[in-house]
């Protein structure tokens, strides 16, 4: 069957649902609806036979993306390697570690000057010249595909830069393009929104609106003044965004991270986050792009509480995103680490929402952004805590201000009146390596490495797609050089966006170095994950409650793997027989060790293991 016939079959399969959703959002605008169909046909004509073949392979195996063989790493191209062609020279390094999914952080053409780390996009269809060209990216993706690796890129959904072609045409007085954005003539109009909308960057970009003199209007700018919020009430915006998504997909990108997805629909009198219309739009994105690139996957960047994130997966019958960030795990892991107990972590995981079988959590310890506390006041109050006091204390433990804390971090956009502090830091500094080196090493140095290794072991085994952050494999600590840069110094997130020193990376091959220990520990864990099929994500995670200082769970439907992680800060006795039910013992997958029935062992702080259980 030819491509056109296949498209028509696919279109007919989605047309009814897509039409209903579209008209719920946009009324009886049939012209806009069928304009979208023409956009899809155009993008399909541009899709290569090679990519269409990859689509067929993926569609034939709906759970392909949930395999235990996938391990990702996210990095800034310039700070990791230089330009896009330079990344190709680092692929052997990534393969050596075990990475086969790369998230290339923002590389689309960006605003000159301030650009929010590349998230102020000037052109959705062009790679920024500082990184290379579209052709450079396509060559890199082709090479990665030859190595059986996947590629992820960002698509900034909520806003464009103020020098994007649409914004420039709006400034020239074109009313059609002005309507691509939320614009208001009177300040009274924005007061219907502003009191309800939380500030994203209170220290550097207070408020959610900016007066634009060239337009003599107020525009909605939820993030920064130079990032104009797109008006998804206008169906032309949806059409443009779908066209842009498919342009990226046609370069060969396998997964698109939908940045700032929770903000894309606005309604006065609300926080303008996670509104029902957002899910209708995301479902439409999935339906429409499946006509052209059915193998394309979406990651929801919904950094919020677990119950607000789960709807972004959709349902088995009506899928939305294939992955979503496991913010609940990330924030609770740090809470458990700095406090030495797992009460909150276990409580949150006991109440994790179920998700459709075709979807997975993306598990991460940290990323390029700040670390937020993605749990609710109710979660804290169930444990008898004063939520404000608890949040402030957790932040103090992470920044190192709390007596006896091993961590070092910087507050991000601090607000004295807001107890929900956000922090920025590297994995190594949060785990105590920075302080340990300052104090001369010894036991504290060893504990820092044990903390790092344990956290990596959790995201590699808990169920879902593990996403590492570049530099963590070398135990790179905080870089305070950004404080000397006038353009960056107010954004503390730059403390954990390192420039990789490749001479230092060579030390991974030298036994006895910090880099060698970090890299080797992580490489070994990744290799074990890839060899252990029960770590594929088949929604077979089973939490086992076994104390306020342990995080324990089973994986696997047939062969069972018991995973335990001890967050306590003193030695204690432990027996897997007390938590493994009918299983009488097991063998460690990590070290040459067996566990006998009824055997009690003495576990040290930050001990963990993956145990293959036996009847």
What does the pLDDT read at residue 585?
Answer: 81
Please tell me the distance from the alpha carbon of residue 580 to that of residue 613, in angstroms, as a whole number. Answer: 8
**In this predicted model, what pLDDT tens digit does every residue of 356-380 receive, in sequence order?**
999 999 999 999 999 999 899 999 9
Residue 557: pLDDT over 90:
no
What does the pLDDT read at residue 240?
Answer: 98
Rounded mean pLDDT of 26-55? 95
Rg of the chain over all Cα atoms, to the nearest angstrom: 24
Rounded mean pLDDT of 482-505? 95
What does the block give as tokens for 613? Answer: 């259980």
Residue 455: pLDDT over 90:
yes
The reported pTM is: 0.97
Q: Distances from the Cα of 391 to the Cαs of 329, 380, 387, 401, 422, in angstroms? A: 16, 9, 6, 14, 10
Burial 411-448 (b: 16+ CB within 10 A, else e): bbbeeeeebbbbbbbbbbbbbbbbbbbeeeeeebbbbb
**In this predicted model, what pLDDT tens digit does every residue of 250-281 receive, in sequence order?**
999 999 999 999 999 999 999 999 999 999 99
Q: Helix or strand or coil: residue 257? A: strand
Out of 98-102, 140-144, 321-325, 557-561, least confident range: 557-561
Out of 65-74, 179-188, 438-447, 451-460, least confident range: 438-447
Q: Are 496 and 368 in contact (CB under 8 A)?
A: yes
Residue 578: pLDDT over 80:
no
Q: Taking Cα atoms as reference points, which of 370, 454, 373, 466 lies closest to residue 412?
A: 370
**In this predicted model, what pLDDT tens digit does every residue of 208-217 receive, in sequence order?**
999 999 999 9
Rounded mean pLDDT of 276-288? 98
Residue 574: pLDDT over 90:
no
Rounded mean pLDDT of 75-98? 98
Instruction: Categorize the per-residue pLDDT at 75 as very low, low, confident or very high, splitting at 50, 70 and 90.
Output: very high
User: Average pLDDT, whole number, for the chain?
Assistant: 95
Instruction: Categorize the per-residue pLDDT at 581 as very low, low, confident or very high, splitting at 50, 70 and 90.
Output: low
């Amino acid at each position: 069957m030819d491509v056109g016939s296949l498209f028509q079959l696919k279109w007919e399969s989605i047309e009814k649902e897509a039409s209903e959703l579209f008209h719920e959002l946009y009324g009886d605008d049939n012209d806009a609806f069928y304009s979208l169909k023409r956009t899809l046909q155009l993008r399909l004509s541009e899709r290569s036979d090679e990519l269409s073949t990859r689509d067929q392979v993926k569609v034939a195996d709906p759970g392909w993306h949930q395999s235990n063989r996938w391990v990702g790493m996210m990095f800034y191209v310039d700070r990791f390697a230089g330009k896009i062609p330079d990344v190709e020279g680092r692929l052997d390094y990534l393969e050596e570690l075990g990475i086969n999914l790369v998230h290339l952080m923002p590389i689309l053409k960006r605003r000159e000057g301030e650009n929010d780390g590349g998230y102020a996009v000037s052109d959705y269809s062009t790679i920024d010249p500082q990184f290379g060209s579209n052709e450079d990216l396509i060559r890199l993706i082709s090479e990665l595909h030859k190595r059986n690796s996947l590629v992820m890129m960002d698509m900034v959904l909520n806003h464009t830069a103020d020098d994007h072609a649409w914004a420039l045409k709006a400034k020239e007085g074109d009313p059609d393009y002005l309507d691509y954005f939320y614009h208001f003539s009177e300040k009274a109009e924005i007061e219907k929104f502003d009191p309800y909308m939380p500030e994203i960057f209170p220290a550097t970009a207070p408020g959610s609106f900016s007066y634009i003199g060239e337009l003599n209007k107020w525009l909605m700018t939820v993030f920064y003044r130079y990032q104009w919020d797109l008006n998804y009430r206008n169906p032309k915006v949806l059409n443009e965004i779908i066209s842009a998504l498919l342009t990226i997909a046609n370069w060969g990108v396998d997964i698109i991270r939908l940045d700032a997805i929770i903000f894309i629909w606005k309604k006065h009198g609300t926080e303008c986050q996670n509104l029902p219309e957002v899910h209708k739009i995301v479902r439409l994105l999935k339906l429409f792009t499946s006509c052209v690139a059915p193998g394309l996957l979406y990651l929801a960047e919904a950094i919020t509480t677990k119950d607000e994130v789960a709807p972004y997966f959709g349902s088995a019958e009506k899928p939305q995103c294939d992955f979503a960030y496991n913010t609940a795990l990330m924030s609770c892991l740090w809470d458990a680490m700095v406090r030495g107990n797992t009460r909150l972590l276990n409580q949150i995981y006991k109440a994790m929402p179920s998700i459709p079988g075709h979807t997975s959590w993306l598990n991460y310890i940290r990323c390029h952004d700040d670390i937020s506390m993605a749990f609710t006041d109710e979660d804290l109050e169930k444990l008898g805590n004063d939520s404000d006091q608890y949040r402030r204390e957790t932040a103090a433990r992470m920044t190192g201000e709390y007596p006896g804390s091993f961590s070092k971090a910087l507050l991000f956009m601090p607000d004295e009146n807001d107890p929900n502090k956000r922090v920025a830091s590297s994995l190594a500094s949060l785990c105590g390596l920075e302080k340990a080196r300052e104090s001369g090493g010894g036991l504290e140095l060893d504990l820092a490495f044990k903390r790092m290794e344990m956290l990596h072991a959790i995201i590699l085994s808990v169920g879902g797609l593990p996403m590492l952050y570049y530099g963590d494999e070398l135990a790179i600590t905080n870089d305070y050089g950004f404080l000397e840069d006038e353009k960056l110094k107010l954004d503390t997130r730059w403390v954990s966006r390192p420039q990789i020193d490749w001479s230092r990376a060579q030390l991974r091959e030298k036994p006895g170095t910090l880099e060698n220990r970090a890299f080797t520990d992580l490489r070994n864990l990744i290799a074990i994950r890839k060899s252990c099929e029960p770590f594929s994500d088949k929604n077979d995670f089973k939490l086992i409650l076994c104390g306020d200082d342990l995080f324990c769970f089973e994986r696997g439907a047939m062969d069972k793997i018991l995973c335990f992680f001890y967050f306590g800060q003193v030695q204690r006795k432990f027996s897997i027989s007390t938590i493994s039910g009918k299983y009488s013992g097991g063998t460690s997958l990590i070290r040459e060790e067996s566990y006998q029935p009824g055997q009690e062992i003495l576990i040290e702080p930050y001990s963990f293991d993956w145990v293959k259980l036996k009847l």
